[in-house]
Structure 1
Amino acid sequence: MFESLGRTVARHPRLTLAAWAVVAVVCALLALVGVGGQNLFDRLTTGEPVVPGSDSARASELLAQSDTSGASLTLVVQGVDPAAEGLADALEPARADVADVPGVVSVIDPFVLPEGVENPAAAPLLAADGDGFLVVVELDPALADDAEDAALHDVEQRLREVPAALDDVSPGATGLVGGTSLIVSAITDQVERDLTTGEAIALPVALLIMVLVFGGFLAAAMPIVGAVASIAGGLGALVGLSYLMDDLESSVVNVVTVLGLGLSIDYGLLIVSRFREELGRALGDDEGRSARRRRGDGAVVTALVTTMGTAGRTVAFSALTVGVSIAGLLVFRQDILRAFGAGSVAVIVFAVATALTLVPALLVLGGRRLARPSVLARVPGVRSVLARTADVASEEGAFSRLAARVQRRPWWVMGGSLAVLLVLASPLLHVELRNSTTQLLPMSSPQREFVRVLAEQYPASSSPSVVLVAQTGEADAAAAVPEIEALDGVASVDPPTVRDSVVVIGVRPDSTDPGGAVAQEVVQGLRDLDLPFDAWVGGQAANQIDFTDALFDRAPWALGVVALATLVLLFLMTGSLLVPVKALLTNAVSLSASLGILVWVFQDGHLSGLLGFESTGGIETYVLALVIAFAFGLAMDYEVFLLSRIKELHDAGASNDESVRLGLQRSGRVITSAAAIIVAVFAGFVAGELLVIKEVGFSLAVAVLIDATLVRLLLVPATMTVLGDLNWWAPAPLRRLHARLAITH
């Protein structure tokens, strides 16, 4: 199958290239221009990830259904004494200007009330420290979407001009304009900026690493071309996914893109590296240095067919194992995890498709030039560097020597590696999970500052962090208030308000952290109350508890499916019973170490200054699930790269220790190069400012770094040496099964 695909591509390289150009351009246009005036980024949403059917989700649904108010924006005026003489008169023209915007139904500030700031009803609109006030603008709820967007834009612009209008009365007045629409816009805009930043860093660094690996730009550019086409295809797939799902979380775009970029380059690197090895073998050293490419070149076709039958099969198998690992996210109930799973599987399909068709087509067009030294090799200083970094087909080298040292003391190496990994994993013992909202924005974000100021200076105007939504009468709800006030952690309870068919009771915990331990204690206390009516608890802490419970409820199923599929696939590849089990155990320890470092950095706050973030006191709940799925998949990626070479040598008659040693030599350069590239890709996204993207990028970069060094270069060779010939053992029935179903070169 793979050999036939190689022959087909070799016969039609330009047609293959043209087809991919069309696919990439169409997908890119769909994502960046869109359909009906909406591009991909216009269709993204943001908010707390919820669990469909949960207690907190039901509370949110009832609140949304009973909310008859329109969209609103709020101006926080700072640096102003509300009692300043002439302030009310100075504000009046600005208020009238805002009220004239089509669609505005009310403009409220302390000065529209009788007696102004002296009226007790004005207190919620006045800053607690006496240094500012609020202007709240509400729109008509019946506005169409386009009219509402236009009205929000006009109101925002006019509210921003209010502080300047007060300059004669209160020089130095400043303002912050905020609201739900602006918070959503801030997050989605930050996603787009972070995506651009990440790619601007990752692609040049990846190209530089591949120039060092291949010794020239021609071979190095081929995986990059495949990655660009894969990213375009992945973004196009996300456009389709946005129509299939009600809400597509904004961070899905960044995470899926970075995965596609990394895998595309990994797979392209493996294909190009093996092709150059096979082409050199087909041409011979002397001819390979001097010959020019000829149309229909038999050596080129032979090299490509052999590459597709070996590395191509490995790439397809690797993509299958990565896809299975990430598809485990589809088992969960949370829409955001299902979106990550579906989007990632789609981009993996594009990554493997470009590696098996587009990159081979480029190799055919490059032909024998790929076997000749690059122009860079003629530069004296560069030549000495490339002599140490460029790929070489050698049976002995740095990796085989490293494996030989490991094999002399395998027990010590295995024990030491495990000890280091367990120490790195230890912070995982005190992990806290969070579902943050505006805390994900960078510290410099005006919307994050707006939410902070509103909570600290205008607590009565800010929404309570815990909400009880009850289906009962106002009198019955009021009767329950004393019982609620008596709960541990409750600072105050808002009077019950009737909204359509429900009564809403706002509960304010004795803490400013909406997802912290105090808020969670209040939620649990509310849910434990024996109320005489149906009630649901909502808010960040409630949603956080429900999300975590649902995550751990389905985790055994997801892990079981992934583990079983991985065992089966690796058995079909190796024919061994122990190698797949060993792979699962070593990957689990490696993954735990990566998560431990994630907790140490982002929960405990270490490196916060260097990485530019403020700890929320925990790890985002869905980030934990993503890192487990993605890091396990990438670990299996490198496991397959290494095992395929070891298995190839063992099948050819080499002993176990020799297969491990030479297999590491033949695959070590590819694995470390691929790991360096993917670390650079993930690290590029750490440079973004959205916290959840920082967490994912950092943790996956660390996971790949640990796996490609400590695990692949030390732990795996040590364990395979300790196991010896048992590596290839399987019961007789399984050996017969493998003989019929084996996935081999």
Structure 2
Amino acid sequence: MSRTILTILIWVGVVGLGVGFGGGVFEKLTAQVATVPGSENERALDLREQAGGPAGQHLTVVVTGGADAGPALEAARTMPGVTEVAPPLPSADGQAVLTDITLTAEATEAQAGAVAERIRAAAPGRITVAGGPLTDTEFGMQAQSDVQRAEIFTLPVVLILLIVVFGGLVAGLMPLMVALAGTGATFGILYLGSFVTDISVYAIQVATMLSMGLAVDYGLLLISRYRTELAQTADRDEALRRAVAKAGRTIAVTGLTVAASLLGLTVFPDAFLRSMGLAGAGVVVVDMLAVLTLLPAVLRLVGGRIKPARAAAGAGVFGRLAHAVQRRPLLVTLVTAAGVLLLAVPSLHLRLTNSDARALPATTETRKQYDVLAAHFPDLVGPDAIAAVVRSPAGAAATADFAARVRSVPGVSTVEVVPVSADVSVVRATPAHQPWTADGRATLQAVRDLPAPFEVLVAGDAARLVDYRAMLAEYGPWAALVVLVATFALLALFTRSVLLPVKAVLTSLLSIAAAFGAIVWVFQDGHLASWFGTGRLDAVDLTVPVLVAAIAFGLSVDYEVFLLARIRERYLQSADAREAVAVGLQQTGRIVTSAALLLVVVFAGFLLGGFAPIKEIGLGLVVAIVLDATVVRMLLVPATMTLLGRANWWPSRPPARPSTVDRELVAAG
């Protein structure tokens, strides 16, 4: 008992240090997303800033309904942080007036907010103020509030489901205890990581959601095994020892595999992806260790209140499903794979973009202003300008010659030269095509390829998108290699097989492809988009595919290991490859289904928010989990393993066939 208490006290100390010491990470978080250090876009922005530009931050004021904002705008001239208020610009239809307010580069969000409130108060509901630090903050706050809303919604639902699945309040609370321990300890990991790389503000929320989901997964596996062992012995300590010995190896392998899939994100130079990988891998490892140490210690104290699993009557629904699949394994394989691939077809025309105001809910100030601008100033909601930062004075003949050549590039509609300093200027080109289109990328590349007698660095939305795509293309294969090699090695050691790790990777990729297809079909193409509180967005946020792929792959392999562990255990007992598949599916079917249901609830909470990228992640993960836990795990995996038979376990030698083989299908409980 003393060792049990010591283990619990150690975890209390770890979590206390994580929350107390690691709380410092909240002061070091960044809201910057999708940036590539050292890219041409970033170097262009650095050059412009070093040369003294931009002169400041900008707020856009749009007045409609004939409201008089003149006195408020005049008052704003003298407010802290304001350097200039531009003359009003009426719309072509005469129904709106636009004004630009320039703030100092050092103006704080609070100062910008004070200016906005002063102007809006002149005619509430008829004046919108957005842009600059206000819009940046609104994007960040919307994403955070969406994840927090998801947590508030999912926590009580998950608790109710846990009580139902585990058959009692005490057992149901245990995974939440592990989730809290994992999240608290991860704060400390992120704080240490902040000294090496920037930590995204979104990493905290993602870590929290992952902690809850994986704590449920691993806790369900261990407690279910404990209840199964209780049905075999009245000695609760012995039942716990057996449960940890049998389920612990599975949990360790799944935890390391999921952590490896998320650590693949640290290969990318983007701080957003790196911090997501660090946070995700950290919480996975901590959850795994908590389930293997803290949860058994708690079970020793309160395990007497957990009931043994009930004996199964007959084969069970999952056993019958397995036998049905095994009667037509080739047909099931072909039909199932074709069905999943059909769902993946829309992903073939996936387009990536930087999220604009349309990604925000209609109630936000930035989105309101976007809609007003689209109605009265349609030219201002077109593609963002291509900004060529040049080391040449604005009035120089060479600069004028370069601007003329930019104007001749196909897809460029207007060009202007903006002075920045004595020897730096910006040639701003208005493109005719959106940056996510092939024409938009071609226009940007043509501008970048123009020869010039001075240094030219091109920035803007199109440049940022092209640079980010190039970064994904350069580092993506290395990230994939890290994940695939680690996954293959861990699964090969676990199964003593070469074919099973390959099959696990391929089936996981099927689920991910289908998830991408659903994201594209709904958000990019606009089908059923209104069901999710948004409209057609024409493209997908550029950070979504990588995040969905990393998380979905890890969770998919998670379920694969759950299933393979029981199949291998039965195969070693019976030497009957076909029967082992059916028994393994019967014993893990309830666990996988319950775990998937709980994770679907966790990630479905993302769909309740208003920020489109969060919704895209939520839909992608929900689709991937549902398909993987049902179609892939219950149909495709048993069908392919039945076809392969003993070849599944090559090059391992088949186990000696016992003299008496128990062919009763047993349930996991």
Q: TM-score, normalised by structure 2?
A: 0.90
- Aligned to 2:425, the other structure's residue is in SS state strand
- Which residue matches 2:182? 230
Tell me the alpha carbon deviations over residues 81-111 of structure 1, each in whole angstroms, 9 at most, x when there is no partner. Answer: 7xxxxx6xx834x34533443444334444x
- Which residue matches 1:713? 634
C-alpha separation between the residues in 1 aligned to 2:127 and 2:21? Answer: 38
Cα deviation for residue 43 of structure 1 reads: 4.7
Give 1:262's aligned amino acid: G
Which of these residues, 218, 221, 227, is aligned with residue 267 of structure 1? Answer: 218
Cα deviation for residue 589 of structure 1 reads: 2.2
Cα deviation for residue 190 of structure 1 reads: 1.6
Structure 1 stretches of 5 or more lacking a match? 1-9, 82-86, 111-124, 165-172, 284-298, 373-389, 736-745
Cα deviation for residue 719 of structure 1 reads: 0.8
Give 1:613's aligned amino acid: T
Which of these residues, 465, 488, 491, is aligned with residue 385 of structure 2? Answer: 465
Matched, 1:126 2:90: yes
C-alpha separation between the residues in 2 aligned to 1:370 and 1:150? Answer: 54
Contact kept, 8 Å, 2:418 with 2:426, in 1: the verdict is yes
Tell me the alpha carbon deviations over residues 205-244 of structure 1, each in whole angstroms, 9 at most, x when there is no partner. Answer: 2222222322222211211222233233334544554454
Cα deviation for residue 414 of structure 1 reads: 1.1
- Which residue matches 2:70? 91
C-alpha separation between the residues in 1 aligned to 2:445 and 2:211? Answer: 41
Q: Classify 1:589/1:71 alpha carbon distance in 2 versus 1 (closer, same or farther; 3 Å).
A: closer
Moved more, 235-244 or 648-657: 235-244
Contact kept, 8 Å, 1:72 with 1:138, in 2: the verdict is yes
1:323-342 equivalent positions in 2, closer than 5 A: 323-342=259-278
Contact kept, 8 Å, 1:213 with 1:391, in 2: the verdict is no
- Which residue matches 1:180? 132
- Which residue matches 1:252? 203
Cα deviation for residue 175 of structure 1 reads: 0.7
Give 1:325's aligned amino acid: S
Which of these residues, 142, 157, 160, is aligned with residue 117 of structure 2? Answer: 157
Q: Classify 1:236/1:136 alpha carbon distance in 2 versus 1 (closer, same or farther; 3 Å).
A: farther
Q: Classify 1:515/1:431 alpha carbon distance in 2 versus 1 (closer, same or farther; 3 Å).
A: closer
- Which residue matches 1:508? 430
Q: Classify 1:605/1:595 alpha carbon distance in 2 versus 1 (closer, same or farther; 3 Å).
A: same
Give 1:195's aligned amino acid: V
Contact kept, 8 Å, 1:278 with 1:303, in 2: the verdict is yes
- Which residue matches 2:649? 728
Tell me the alpha carbon deviations over residues 480-529 of structure 1, each in whole angstroms, 9 at most, x when there is no partner. Answer: 22222222211111234233542101111125x45444432321221232
- Aligned to 2:143, the other structure's residue is in SS state helix
Percent identity reads 39
1:53-452 equivalent positions in 2, closer than 5 A: 53-66=38-51, 67=53, 69-80=55-66, 91-92=70-71, 94-110=72-88, 125-141=89-105, 148-163=108-123, 174-242=126-194, 244-246=196-198, 248-283=199-234, 299-371=235-307, 396-451=315-370
C-alpha separation between the residues in 2 aligned to 1:198 and 1:627? Answer: 17
C-alpha separation between the residues in 1 aligned to 2:348 and 2:381? Answer: 39
Q: TM-score, normalised by structure 1?
A: 0.81
Matched, 1:480 2:402: yes
- Which residue matches 2:549? 628
Contact kept, 8 Å, 2:523 with 2:529, in 1: the verdict is yes
C-alpha separation between the residues in 2 aligned to 1:330 and 1:219? Answer: 35
Give 1:495's aligned amino acid: V
Cα deviation for residue 30 of structure 1 reads: 6.5
- Aligned to 1:184, the other structure's residue is in SS state helix
Cα deviation for residue 269 of structure 1 reads: 0.9
Tell me the alpha carbon deviations over residues 709-734 of structure 1, each in whole angstroms, 9 at most, x when there is no partner. Answer: 111111111111111111111179x9
Cα deviation for residue 660 of structure 1 reads: 0.9
C-alpha separation between the residues in 2 aligned to 1:71 and 1:488? Answer: 31
C-alpha separation between the residues in 1 aligned to 2:184 and 2:570? Answer: 38
Cα deviation for residue 149 of structure 1 reads: 4.4
- Aligned to 2:161, the other structure's residue is in SS state helix
Tell me the alpha carbon deviations over residues 387-414 of structure 1, each in whole angstroms, 9 at most, x when there is no partner. Answer: xxx8766783111111111111111111
Q: Classify 1:391/1:423 alpha carbon distance in 2 versus 1 (closer, same or farther; 3 Å).
A: farther
Cα deviation for residue 133 of structure 1 reads: 2.6
- Which residue matches 2:420? 498
C-alpha separation between the residues in 2 aligned to 1:101 and 1:69? Answer: 17
Contact kept, 8 Å, 1:255 with 1:696, in 2: the verdict is no
C-alpha separation between the residues in 2 aligned to 1:551 and 1:602? Answer: 21
Contact kept, 8 Å, 2:384 with 2:462, in 1: the verdict is no
- Aligned to 1:725, the other structure's residue is in SS state helix
Q: Classify 1:159/1:391 alpha carbon distance in 2 versus 1 (closer, same or farther; 3 Å).
A: farther
Return the index of the structure with the highest Cα Rg: 1
Q: CA RMSD in A?
A: 2.8
C-alpha separation between the residues in 2 aligned to 1:596 and 1:460? Answer: 32
C-alpha separation between the residues in 2 aligned to 1:64 and 1:453? Answer: 31
Cα deviation for residue 257 of structure 1 reads: 2.6
Q: Classify 1:452/1:43 alpha carbon distance in 2 versus 1 (closer, same or farther; 3 Å).
A: farther
- Aligned to 1:491, the other structure's residue is in SS state strand
Q: Classify 1:128/1:506 alpha carbon distance in 2 versus 1 (closer, same or farther; 3 Å).
A: farther
1:593-604 equivalent positions in 2, closer than 5 A: 593-604=514-525
Moved more, 456-465 or 627-636: 456-465
Contact kept, 8 Å, 1:215 with 1:391, in 2: the verdict is no
- Which residue matches 2:661? none
C-alpha separation between the residues in 2 aligned to 1:603 and 1:63? Answer: 34
- Which residue matches 2:658? none
Contact kept, 8 Å, 1:679 with 1:705, in 2: the verdict is yes
Give 1:314's aligned amino acid: T
Matched, 1:652 2:605: no
Tell me the alpha carbon deviations over residues 535-555 of structure 1, each in whole angstroms, 9 at most, x when there is no partner. Answer: 122111111112112212222
- Which residue matches 1:291? none
Q: Classify 1:160/1:208 alpha carbon distance in 2 versus 1 (closer, same or farther; 3 Å).
A: same
Structure 2 stretches of 5 or more lacking a match? 656-669
Give 1:308's aligned amino acid: V
Contact kept, 8 Å, 1:106 with 1:139, in 2: the verdict is yes
C-alpha separation between the residues in 2 aligned to 1:254 and 1:391? Answer: 38
Which of these residues, 659, 665, 669, is aligned with residue 586 of structure 2? Answer: 665
C-alpha separation between the residues in 1 aligned to 2:421 and 2:248? Answer: 61
Which of these residues, 508, 513, 535, is aligned with residue 614 of structure 1? Answer: 535
Cα deviation for residue 464 of structure 1 reads: 4.6
- Which residue matches 2:37? 52
- Which residue matches 1:376? none
Moved more, 703-712 or 594-603: 594-603
Moved more, 617-626 or 133-142: 133-142
Give 1:432's aligned amino acid: R
Tell me the alpha carbon deviations over residues 45-101 of structure 1, each in whole angstroms, 9 at most, x when there is no partner. Answer: 4355122222222222223333263444343222227xxxxx6xx834x34533443
Q: Classify 1:426/1:230 alpha carbon distance in 2 versus 1 (closer, same or farther; 3 Å).
A: same
C-alpha separation between the residues in 1 aligned to 2:505 and 2:39? Answer: 33
Cα deviation for residue 429 of structure 1 reads: 1.6
Contact kept, 8 Å, 2:112 with 2:134, in 1: the verdict is no
Matched, 1:530 2:509: no
Tell me the alpha carbon deviations over residues 104-123 of structure 1, each in whole angstroms, 9 at most, x when there is no partner. Answer: 4334444xxxxxxxxxxxxx
Cα deviation for residue 343 of structure 1 reads: 1.4
